[in-house]
Structure 1
Amino acid sequence: MNTLNFRFNNILLLLTLISLVISCQPAITPQPVADFSIEKITGSPGKIKLTNKSLNAKRYQWTFGDGRASTEEAPEIEYKTDGTYTVVLTAKNDVGQDQVSNSVEIGGLVKYVTAGFDYAPINGSPSRIQFTNRSMNADRYQWQFGDGQASTEPNPLIEFKGNGIYTARLIAKNANSTDEVSKSVTISGVPTSGSVMFWTNGRGDGSDIEVYVANAMQGVINTHQANGTPSSCGLDGYVTFQNTDGTYSFYAQSKSRSWSGVITIKNGECRMKLLPQ
């Protein structure tokens, strides 16, 4: 073998080795580049088409500026309310991600109603609740509070009469649409009983007055107040009857006189019942 052939063969061997080394190197994945365009769809003022122009991406994450999102490659979406929205695209592959955003202005839409509200108790009164209207695009309201009460005010102040869990419902309307929302309202700390105090304005025949309510003796009246009205229930010398809401029959008698009728109990109230002389 002459020197020239030997050198040529060595060069071929070297080139083969270089080719093998290069072919064994892993392919380098390029970083993704996010890009897209926005096209408004004719005849649908709230509808847009998104054309994905990203490079080297395998996965996509879209947000549309109104709380919605998508992982489609090129979604079409429809906005419900006029406004300027920022559309964000994140393009991803196995080595990284890239993000880009564009804004779109939406106008001329029918204004659809979105109903919403918050509520909070008034300080010092667990049964009085202030409702705050958070509805969008509405001009009429109908409230129901789960206890028979209702209102058409935008922000009603409601007093519940008893403890419990009530369903407050708001129906919000405009000329184009109606929407509604409900929330549970828990009421606690409301007095669960009321009182009626029996009293008299004179001693009459001078004897004590026995008082019976719901066919049970509740006590005796052994004093009187000639002028005005007693200041509160539970005073000594009179008879105070305490119970839950309702109407109760009563009967009272002294040595020579008697009284009868009905009394009404209201939660949290102190009422007076005069047995006149």
Structure 2
Amino acid sequence: MRHTTRTSLLALLVALLSALLVVPAAAVSGGASAGVSAGVLGGDPPGANDWDCVPTVKRPTPVILVHGTMGDRKNLLEGLSRSIKSKGFCVFSLDYGDRGLSDIRASAKQLKRYTKRVLRATGASKVSMVGHSQGGLMPRYLIKFLRGKKLVDDLVGIAPSNHGTAFVGGDNPISALVAAIVNGPCRACVQQGAGSPFLTRLNQGDETPGRVNYTQITTRYDQVVVPHTSGYLTEGRRTTNLTLQDLCPTSLAEHVTVPLATPTIDIVLDALTRRGPASKKVSPRC
């Protein structure tokens, strides 16, 4: 009976995801990259996972794309992959954690194994990571607790759940009910709740350890990472926090569509192609 209940809850979560992935036409036409098939799951994003790719002197650092909770290595990442590849980078993308539902600590170990595989294949000394939602958060566990500081050059989080979401971790009966429902089928969802033991430990002390460059991109219309500023990390020389609407006031990008948005991709490219994190004075196409 317990297994049946958990299976039913997982089916419900997948159904909710399917609904979310029907990207509104207005959002796509209002700043999302052309040619993105937001509703098609599976396979590799354009230009990614070429294991014969050789980094160049100009682009010595491969880029790993990290999907969010309930995502996969392709969906919502096509525009990013295509654009990063066009700038001369070797691009890789992985599936992890049973579509990102599993314990984030285990997913971070999986990402570390994948990172080492990329480094062996390319001969590079470090990788950069671009992650959406949990994909912007989870690599921080790798960096802080799994000796990943020497493996990562840039970490770019797009609507990252760095300090969690009040949707799951808020101090109210609805948030508590949501947390109780998803705890079984989606351990990572509860770990991303505001104030969770996982996030408390992750954010204790230095939020941006190592010589990694940290760029966080948020959107005011985020309906998952609430409030959107919980995606920010402590400001410093190697940290840049940006909200999309501060740069492009008319942008309607929300949690699902933000990785598709042209200004988001421009900010990512700025972070990857310069020393340090993205510039606070970056001028993306709006």
In terms of fraction of residues, the more helix-rich structure is 2
Structure whose residues are more often strand by fraction: 1
User: What TM-score do you get using the length of structure 2 for normalisation?
Assistant: 0.17
Give the number of the structure with larger relative contact order, counting CA–CA contacts within 8 Å between residues 6 or more apart: 2
Please report the TM-score for the alignment, with normalisation by the length of structure 1. 0.17
Larger radius of gyration: 1
